[in-house]
Structure 1
Amino acid sequence: MASADVKTTVSEGGLRYKSKTPGSPFKASSSFSGATMSCFLCGKHRPRSLMQTKRVLGKAQPVCAPSCKELEASLKG
């Protein structure tokens, strides 16, 4: 017996989902180098190989290497 596919929708109450596809948009990786991190400056998730650490506000933070704009331009074309 097949059930009807229910699309993910937010109820009128606000935050409850009727259904949600399982899993995460960020693939799990068994190796540390395959994981993603979010850039402290632009907030986009990138593989660790495309990140570098810079001191921002007195603390080391992961940021896009060499910069967010240059990385985005190189990835687009």
Structure 2
Amino acid sequence: MYLPDQTTRIDSTGLRYQSKQPGSLFGPTVGTMSCFVCGAHRSRSFLRPFKLAASTHYRCRAGCGQ
């Protein structure tokens, strides 16, 4: 059984998702990364680099969860 989606429509220009907010869930992503250990998104100033298998990764500077 097919039910049409009521919240999105394709207009004459081909655009859809008029009810969806534009942009990313994370806002401006310039300078943000996720912690390698806990996965929290933080600005790069709150992360510290470390080497693992000859690659640079980043983790929380003050410890994860703080």
**TM-score of the aligned structures, taking structure 2 as reference length:** 0.57
The gaps in structure 1 that reach 5 residues or longer are 1-5, 9-16
Q: 1:54 to 1:37 in 2, by over 3 A?
A: same
Question: Once the 2 structures are TM-superposed, how far is the Cα of residue 65 of structure 1 from its aligned partner?
Answer: 0.7
Structure 2 partner of 1:63: 59
**TM-score of the aligned structures, taking structure 1 as reference length:** 0.50
Task: Map Cα deviations across residues 27-46 of structure 1 (whole Å, 9 max, x no partner).
Answer: 226xx6xx211111111100
In the aligned structure 2, how far is the partner of 1:24 from the partner of 1:37? Answer: 14
Structure 1 partner of 2:24: 24
Larger relative CO (CA 8 A, sep 6+): 1 or 2?
Answer: 2
Give 4+ residue runs of structure 1 displaced > 6 Å after superposition. none
1:43 maps onto 2:34 in alignment: no
Q: Which has the higher helix share?
A: 1
% identity of equivalent residues: 41
Aligned residues: 52
Which is higher, the Rg of structure 1 or of structure 2? Answer: 2
